[in-house]
Amino acid sequence: AFFGRFILRAFGVPTTARPSRGHGALCHAAAATATAASSSSSSDPPRLGWVVNLGGDWGAGYTKTRYGKDLDFLETTRARRHPLYERVK
């Protein structure tokens, strides 16, 4: 998982460790699906979503960040896309 994060970061892809019981895992940012991307104008930057790589699905891992559970990390990143996020914060 360490080398996978190293390679992804070398190509400028945001990534974070997401270990799960018994082995390391990671998740990385990926462009939104084609249907979601087509709804935005071409001048908008591509929206990113997080994809699990090298591990179980969401809920099976944890993070060594302030979030603790991987689902907390995922929901926080989804909330940041909302236009009211900056006003609340």
20: which 2 tokens?
């799960």
65-83: pLDDT as tens digits: 777 788 888 888 888 777 7
Q: Are 64 and 17 in contact (CB under 8 A)?
A: yes
Confidence of residue 57 (pLDDT cuts 50, 70, 90): confident
13-43: pLDDT as tens digits: 888 888 777 777 888 888 765 444 444 444 4
DSSP single-letter state for residue 27: E
